[in-house]
Structure 1
């Protein structure tokens, strides 16, 4: 069986083509999950796993991207991320390359905001050619807001200062909480039914994304778009942006700015310029929305051939090997530390100091034994000497001499115990108890021996 060469894949080729398929087909996606296995090597890149109750996926967020994240991710944290599916070719693992990360609660609202914005933009609600110019001679302004909020006080103060002749009609409504968007829609519809004002100012003070969420309602967007009266949206602070801002004919950054925009002043051209600028901004945003998709498509095509992607793959591989090396070094150091401790214990056990202490104790013990043995030996020998002295004294000639006896010896110190050993003329020595006597044999008698003293 002959296999065509072009049908035989290498592992590298297979992983590369799988990566291109995944990146080309799926593009950018939003993903919600719980962080686990988070690590941040010295390179500055982030590596983590996103999981839910049933599955998990490996993720990487490179240094250039994670610098824009306003918080430090931790294991167990629920987050919403946006990124592109890719394949880490050295391992053959598919992963998510994260571009942006938000906490789950705020992130879900931001995702819903972006989804609704794209949807309404596609329906044409943001189109610049649908925006209506403000009346040139405004006599009455309808203000849709809470009658007890700070926004109405700011609006009234600005209008009284700039143009006290303008009449103000307040359409009170709830501007925060559940069903607030429904109440705002009702207020807009009432104003359109009465047609008693020249323009509507939809406004409230600043707040969090959750506080302003009622102004991101799809129903409210359609109500604003279908309003017969021009609507100026002045919601929150300058940094706050809502769907009502995109749909309204003009967006004002603050309630006070909205009141200034609707009131006459000496710089009439400034009003016209502000309107033109607002419409230009809306047109630019609309154009931006249309070109973003085109840009993302071009980004996908660029990423397939971009050397930077290969460098990211190599950087990720380097980080992975670095983590493994650090773990191996830590384990090696731990083993060496245990071995050093073991050798130290053995050395302590074999220490000369320890042996010297043992030998010193042994010498002291032996010295005590030797001293005891010498004392016992001396005592025993003393007893033996005393006994021997007694025995010797018992048989000592001196003892015999002390009883009146004497000992006689010849010139050769031989004891004379019989006359048979004597001859006339022999010199004799006689030892008494006290002193000795020298004599010469002159006569030998069997009965007695005559001594001649010299």
Structure 2
């Protein structure tokens, strides 16, 4: 086999070129997953693993970037992160270098919002040249909102105060929940089919990003863009921004401001300036988005040649070795403590005090056994004695007397068991159970 002379890589060179290849072809990405193996050494850098049910990837977030995170990551937490794919060259592991981290719920919605915003902007739905001017003489306004919400009350109050001659037609719609988007589209479609108003005001009160999410659907954006009637979006408060605001012909910061824009008043010119300011801001946002894309591309190209990346690699390797050293020292100390405990136990077993204690325990055990044997022997002897006494009592004359019998003897103490042995005048002694009787024979048979 012929070995090529000009195509032999070292491991370091291979890992370096793989890193440049990954960083050059994969730009900044968003990634969602569950945190595991989270570590935060004294250097201030964070190291973790992001995983889902099937795969995992190592991640690093350096001190200068993790200081902007508003929460403390923990194992098991679902997060959304943004970063660049790179290679940790000393180990040859590919990893994600994180520069932003959000909780999964709000982060996913925000990421989905930004992705849809970029998509629709690329399709031209936000272009200023497609915005329709409001009619000069508005006589009838169509309001698309909930008929029971606070927004409709604010709108009607402002219109009645500023221009009571304006006619208002309400197109009832849901403004929150899973069915709200379809309800809003149906209201826009109905208004365009009837063509009974001069302009549409799409509005509701403020709320969280999740509450206003029905105004961030692509289908609603196309319905607003394709509407034959001009659409003014007045969703939420001043800080709330939805896709409907970007695609509408004009955005108002609040429902009341939307009603003021559409009603004639001495301050009408000021409202027109506000509208122009909104369009200018929208144009600026669009321009800023382009600049941000270019900045991201240039920053990515710069990062490929940035010495900071090398320092970050070295810092990560230092932290990794420090963690390994701490773990090895802990294991050595634990093993030494176990050996000391075992030797101390063996030494304790060999001391005279221990042996004396064992002999004392055996002596006490034998003494207790002896006392128990003596007690058992005495109990057995008492039992035997009681049995013999019982047998003796059964054959004793006294036992016979106790059953009602008597014993009769003559003067010489002989037991009389035959009347033929007696003569008239003999003296007899009869012993009973209780006491005795002396009698004289007067006749025998």
In which range does the TM-score fall when normalised by the shorter chain? 0.7 to 0.9
1:99-110 to 2 correspondences below 5 Å? 99-110=99-110
Shift of 1:139: 2.9
Bigger drift between 286-295 and 20-29 goes to 286-295
Specify the alignment match of 1:228 in structure 2. Answer: 228
Name the count of aligned residue pairs: 359
Deviations 1:306-339 (A, max 9, x none): 1121122122112212212222333344345446
Shift of 1:349: 8.5
Specify the alignment match of 1:377 in structure 2. Answer: none
Shift of 1:265: 3.4
How far apart, CA to CA, are the structure 1 residues paired with 2:124 and 2:133? 18
Deviations 1:208-238 (A, max 9, x none): 3232221111111011111222211111222
Deviations 1:380-414 (A, max 9, x none): xxxxxxxxxxxxxxxxxxxxxxxxxxxxxxxxxxx
Deviations 1:244-271 (A, max 9, x none): 0110112222222222333333333321
Deviations 1:345-393 (A, max 9, x none): 7898899xx98xx9xxxxxxxxxxxxxxxxxxxxxxxxxxxxxxxxxxx
Please state whether the residue corresponding to 2:304 is helix, strand or coil.
helix
Specify the alignment match of 1:58 in structure 2. Answer: 58
Specify the alignment match of 1:129 in structure 2. Answer: 129
Specify the alignment match of 1:326 in structure 2. Answer: 326
Please state whether the residue corresponding to 1:7 is helix, strand or coil.
coil
1:404-419 to 2 correspondences below 5 Å? none
How far apart, CA to CA, are the structure 1 residues paired with 2:348 and 2:157? 89
Bigger drift between 100-109 and 142-151 goes to 100-109
Bigger drift between 243-252 and 31-40 goes to 31-40
Tell me if structure 1 keeps the 8 A contact 2:252–2:275: no
Specify the alignment match of 2:38 in structure 1. Answer: 38
- Aligned pair in 2 of structure 1 residues 44, 238: CA closer, same or farther (>3 Å)? farther
Deviations 1:21-50 (A, max 9, x none): 001111122323222111122222221112
Shift of 1:13: 1.3
Tell me if structure 2 keeps the 8 A contact 1:181–1:217: yes
1:358-377 to 2 correspondences below 5 Å? none
- Aligned pair in 2 of structure 1 residues 12, 132: CA closer, same or farther (>3 Å)? same
Deviations 1:45-86 (A, max 9, x none): 221112223322111122333333343322223333222111
1:289-308 to 2 correspondences below 5 Å? 289-308=289-308
How far apart, CA to CA, are the structure 2 residues paired with 1:65 and 1:128? 36
Shift of 1:344: 6.9
TM-score (norm 1): 0.71
TM-score (norm 2): 0.73
Bigger drift between 196-205 and 340-349 goes to 340-349
Specify the alignment match of 2:162 in structure 1. Answer: 162
Deviations 1:401-434 (A, max 9, x none): xxxxxxxxxxxxxxxxxxxxxxxxxxxxxxxxxx
Tell me if structure 2 keeps the 8 A contact 1:141–1:198: yes
Deviations 1:171-226 (A, max 9, x none): 11111222321221121122223333232111112223232221111111011111
Shift of 1:129: 1.8
Tell me if structure 2 keeps the 8 A contact 1:121–1:289: no
Specify the alignment match of 2:276 in structure 1. Answer: 276
- Higher Rg of the two aligned structures: 1
Two-structure CA RMSD over aligned residues (Å):
2.9
Q: Any gaps of 5 or more consecutive residues in structure 1?
A: 359-454
Q: Any gaps of 5 or more consecutive residues in structure 2?
A: 357-445
Bigger drift between 10-19 and 31-40 goes to 31-40
Shift of 1:169: 1.8
How far apart, CA to CA, are the structure 2 residues paired with 1:262 and 1:137? 10
1:243-262 to 2 correspondences below 5 Å? 243-262=243-262
Shift of 1:8: 1.9
Q: Does 2:147 match 1:173?
A: no
How far apart, CA to CA, are the structure 1 residues paired with 2:322 and 2:133? 62
How far apart, CA to CA, are the structure 2 residues paired with 1:257 and 1:332? 71
Shift of 1:120: 0.8
How far apart, CA to CA, are the structure 1 residues paired with 2:182 and 2:68? 36
